[in-house]
Amino acid sequence: MAEPDQWRHMASAPKNGSRILVTIRPSEQGAAEVDLAYWSHGDQFGPEGWRASDSSPGRIIAYPEPELKCWMPMPAANLSRSSMPSPWEGEDEQQLDGSGI
């Protein structure tokens, strides 16, 4: 099983509604950052897609697929870690999870 604190390709991210950490690509709005997100199958508030976990009815924060670079499972509680992991800053061509595909 892969290490829980490893960044992985978005293609392998779970689309079952579970919360995951994602690296948001840098843009003219700011540097790359990490957010907590989940896959929504769509509802009366918005279409299917990635949403920030702090979305609420009437205030959906949606992430288009190209905006998300990679993902990581939620780390286990660790009282010695005081912040989220750093965003992935490697090249897109590099393997994030070691797969040869």
Domain boundaries, the chain: 8-73
Q: In this predicted structure, what is the pLDDT of residue 88?
A: 76
22's enclosing H/E stretch is strand 20-24
- pLDDT: is 38 or 3 the higher one? 38
pLDDT at site 58 = 76
**pLDDT tens-digit profile of 34-89?**
999 999 987 777 788 999 998 877 788 899 999 999 999 988 766 565 666 778 77
pLDDT tens-digit map of 15-33: 999 999 999 999 888 899 9
The two tokens of residue 29 are 């709005």
Phi and psi angles of residue 10, each rounded to the nearest 5 degrees, phi first? -60, -25
* SS3 label, residue 65: helix
> Buried (b) or exposed (e) across 34-55, using 16+ Cβ within 10 A?
bbebbbbeeeeebeebbbbeeb
Residue 95 reports pLDDT greater than 50: yes
